[in-house]
Homo-oligomer: A and B are copies of this chain.
Amino acid sequence: MNAPALDVVGIGNAIVDVIAQADDRFLAAQDLSKGPMAPLDAARAEELYAAMGPGVEMSGGSAANTMAGIASLGGKGAFIGKVRNDQLGGIFRHDIRANGLTFDTPPATEGLPTARCLIFVTPDAQRTMNTFLGASVALGPEDLDRDLIARAKITYLEGYLWDATAAKAAFVEAAEVAHEAGRRVALTLSDPFCVERHRESFLRLVEEHIDLLFANEVEICSLYQVEDFDAALQKVRGHCEVAVLTRSARGAVILSGEEVHIVDAEPVARVVDTTGAGDLYAAGFLFGYTRGKTLHDCGRIGAIAAAEVISHYGARPEVPLHPLVQKRLGHI
């Protein structure tokens, strides 16, 4: 087995975010519920965009945000995801490469346009995300760069893609390629509704293919159909090498075999926009993991990265994370 050439390869939706401020009245009028990511068809995407206030566009996508975080921490990474050969696709490609990441998935030359996520940020700093997945769900096993996956320490899968049949096949195949090369496979559950729609197959995926599982409190409770976080915690133990359960301001719980770590959230002067919190937590954790840090320190790096991203609008870091972690943690 060759030495790993990369720290992490992320596989996920290739999305450009459109972020605008909105109040609760707007959400109610548009029949939008706060928080999780709701899928939009093309017609509803048009309608909602028309009603939306002036926006800011930024490259997004959950695993892509995580990869941007890993690059900002000094990690070497790559991304696999599908855009269309259109302007937003060009923007996505530019931004992810400008972060120093490898991104060579060929764009679709026909079919739906590049995915767009309409994000409404309310004054309480919560984000309501509505996504037109467009070209993103066209990702299939043929888009996998097997050599890249075999040479990355960790392959990181974005649960959002589990909605698409071809992408499911790509996930399983990527996991197999990674494991054959002696690497690790990580998954983020991404969204409670996504878990709801695919609980059985997610459970099988976790059981059979996943070494590191990321989930927030709502997602992990949904996966195991329990009401209570502690109940979910009991359920997940032993089902993967490492489980990282995030609880927003209440910090994170990290489980590995008999080990249990509770790592507090990093203080934030003002929470502006929670978009990307989970993505950047995963970035910090995975970066630490590839560097052989203790699980506690992996959690600390995750918390520091998440605190940075929620202190401003947008789901990607605004300042280089490597020196930030160096300063807060004392080492990296």
A89 to chain B: closest residue by CB = B87
Q: Is B98's CB under 8 angstroms from A53's CB?
A: yes
State which of A54-62, A198-206, A300-308 sits at the interface with chain B: A54-62
Shortest CB–CB separation between residue A323 and chain B, in angstroms?
14
Of the listed residues A49, A59, A98, A314, the one surrounded by the most CB atoms of chain B closer than 10 A to its CB is A98
Q: Which residues of B contact A18 (CB under 8 A)?
A: 91
Q: Is A91's CB under 8 angstroms from B316's CB?
A: no
Q: Is B86's CB under 8 angstroms from A55's CB?
A: no
Q: Which residues of B contact A107 (CB under 8 A)?
A: none
Mask, A298-332, CB within 8 Å of B = 1, is 00000000000000001010000000000000000
Q: Does A166 contact B (CB under 8 A)?
A: no
**Which of B54, B91, B94, B114 contacts A95, CB < 8 Å?**
B54
Considering only residues 52-82 of chain A, those with a C-beta below 8 Å from chain B are: 52-59, 68
CA distance A302 to B113 in the complex (A): 41
Q: Does A88 contact B (CB under 8 A)?
A: yes
Shortest CB–CB separation between residue A201 and chain B, in angstroms?
34
Shortest CB–CB separation between residue A56 and chain B, in angstroms?
5
Considering only residues 180-224 of chain A, those with a C-beta below 8 Å from chain B are: none
User: Copy number of this protein in the oligomer?
Assistant: 2
Q: Is A99's CB under 8 angstroms from B54's CB?
A: yes
Q: Does A50 contact B (CB under 8 A)?
A: yes
Q: Is B55's CB under 8 angstroms from A98's CB?
A: yes
Q: Is A94's CB under 8 angstroms from B52's CB?
A: yes
How many chain A residues sit at the interface, stated as a range, is 20 to 34
CA distance A68 to B113 in the complex (A): 28
Q: Is A56's CB under 8 angstroms from B57's CB?
A: yes
Q: Which residues of B contact A91 (CB under 8 A)?
A: 18, 55, 57
CA distance A96 to B58 in the complex (A): 18
Considering only residues 245-279 of chain A, those with a C-beta below 8 Å from chain B are: none
CA distance A57 to B56 in the complex (A): 6
Mask, A93-128, CB within 8 Å of B = 1, is 011101100000000000001100000000000000
Q: Which residues of B contact A94 (CB under 8 A)?
A: 49-50, 52, 54-55
Of the listed residues A18, A52, A87, A96, the one surrounded by the most CB atoms of chain B closer than 10 A to its CB is A87
A21 to chain B: closest residue by CB = B318
Shortest CB–CB separation between residue A227 and chain B, in angstroms?
40
CA distance A135 to B81 in the complex (A): 30
Q: Is B54's CB under 8 angstroms from A68's CB?
A: yes
Mask, A13-57, CB within 8 Å of B = 1, is 000001010000000000000000000000000000110111111
Query: Can you sample 28 A-B contacts with CB below 8 Å?
Result: A20-B98, A49-B94, A50-B94, A52-B94, A52-B98, A53-B98, A53-B99, A54-B59, A54-B68, A54-B94, A54-B95, A54-B98, A55-B58, A55-B91, A55-B94, A55-B95, A55-B98, A56-B57, A56-B58, A56-B314, A57-B57, A57-B58, A57-B91, A86-B86, A86-B87, A87-B87, A87-B113, A87-B114
Instruction: Please give me the 7 A-B residue pairs with the lowest Cβ-Cβ distance, nearest first.
Output: A57-B57, A87-B87, A54-B95, A54-B98, A53-B98, A56-B58, A87-B88
